[in-house]
Chain A
């Protein structure tokens, strides 16, 4: 039962083959058994989960069902969950019991989904390996000596090891797609503004977006049907009709125009990963797609620009953590300045402090034009590259990550090397476009992800294109043997 997709679990729950309490207990048992090795959960909400499962069973009996009613799910610990510890994997919030519920998790609860717990992540979503968490690194179920990717590392590790059938993640520079790629899962970052950010602890507000992490594109569509939509509590939420994301999954893709950006296949890409991506593109050609090379000339500027925009926004967002109203406070503060500086100095980890300092530096007097304003202008150029490309292609494809999962500790001493591992995912966030990563094969037993980038609000089309590939291949159904 633990290897079934959400689509299958939903059918089993409706037919009465299994109850939500049975299903929830099964996953809770698996979490107990495997979490010590993976460290993918920060908090397991066993009592609340069993209670929600019993309520879901009553709904199922009464025939009051939505597709996710009774289905267990894990939430990244960046979403505020009322009455449940919400840490963002930081010592700063180790004592924080959220006093309100995020819109995203509330929508899942309304649909009858059962929250199993809160997953580990990079501290405040700042990282690409899940090694910056205050609660320790998360392990990749495909090889416990390797990272799961980040920042949604706990969510992908949990789903890949079948400790949860699906999870939520957030993506500011690749934090859904890169870990999904490194753990062999389907991950979707929707268009900026498609999913409410209300109650999602902010890192870089013009880039952050929540999305689903699942086995298949079909499952991702089911989660999107719950997550997407306008929310008056988020001032950047988009007022636009939400389609049924499952409706077009089976549409034909004959004549689909695929663009391969030449900059995504340069010397930075591992040869073995490139071969897997080439094979996936050939599979699309066999399905009737037409492939052409395109250029996104400002690709190389995406990482440098991101490391101005994201830290600038983070330094502003994280100024709220001051030790006064909630969160960590240092012992025995001597005066107000000491209270602020020691609470923040002791409460934040090294990577978060680095990014706050970069942000404070680029925004400080005399540097604003050279850094922040220049970064916003280059952001426009990066976005214009995509606009031009989408005039002649329907979807852009390439690798999600330049390599497979790296070893724990391999890049953690060198921030810049770590940052460059997000080279193919960051530009999408700068432009605000939707993009997915889907499993496309393996190199030495480690998963490789194919990235699909779509035009604004074309999540349905991306999921359709992903689904057709998953109908023709079974990479997305592979699972790590030890679990």
Chain B
């Protein structure tokens, strides 16, 4: 399986990654090679195999619906690039 430049552009958009135009050919080559490696999987007959999502086949543990976390908003917002009045700021979304 090989990918072309339009695949790279599409997948970069899906992943929200800005890729320099000049780097696209390199990504085409690298991703095509990696998908070539992955292609070997297609030769295996897995019709009756149950997919394995978790190494121990464990079930999700549940806990009581109780508030256990304390409010640390100031500490967390101290790490943010831009905040104001307790809100995270981003460029204007709605005019």
Q: Which residues of A contact B (CB under 8 A)?
A: 96-97, 99, 192-193, 206-207, 232, 235-236, 238, 298, 300-301, 303-305, 307-308, 315, 319, 322-326, 329, 333-342, 344-346, 348, 353-354, 356-362, 364, 370-371, 373-381, 383, 414-416, 419, 430-432, 456
Contacts and interface: CB of A to CB of B under 8 A. Distances in A.
Given A308-B38, A336-B90, A383-B52, A378 B44 contact: yes
B17 A357 contact: yes
B72 to A, nearest CB: 7
A207 B52 CA distance: 12
A342 to B, nearest CB: 5
B81 A329 contact: yes
Given A322-B16, A358-B31, 16 more contacts: A99-B76, A192-B55, A206-B55, A303-B37, A308-B41, A325-B79, A329-B81, A361-B31, A361-B35, A370-B42, A377-B49, A380-B51, A416-B36, A431-B55, A432-B54, A456-B56
Given A354-B34, A377-B52, A383-B55, A345 B41 contact: no
A362 B42 CA distance: 13
A378 B17 contact: no
A379 B50 CA distance: 10
A198 to B, nearest CB: 13
Interface residues of B, number: 52
A342 B18 contact: yes
B67 interface: no
B51 A360 contact: no
Nearest to A361: B11
B91 A336 contact: yes
A307 B81 CA distance: 33
Nearest to B63: A232
B88 A324 contact: yes
Interface of B: 3, 7-8, 11-12, 14-20, 27, 30-31, 33-42, 44, 46, 49-56, 58, 60-61, 63, 72, 75-76, 78-82, 88, 90-93
A334 B35 CA distance: 34
B34 A376 contact: no
Contact of B18 (A345, A358, A431): A345
A339 B93 CA distance: 11
A456 B3 CA distance: 39
Contact of B8 (A324, A357, A359): A357
Contact of B41 (A96, A358, A378): A378
Nearest to A238: B56
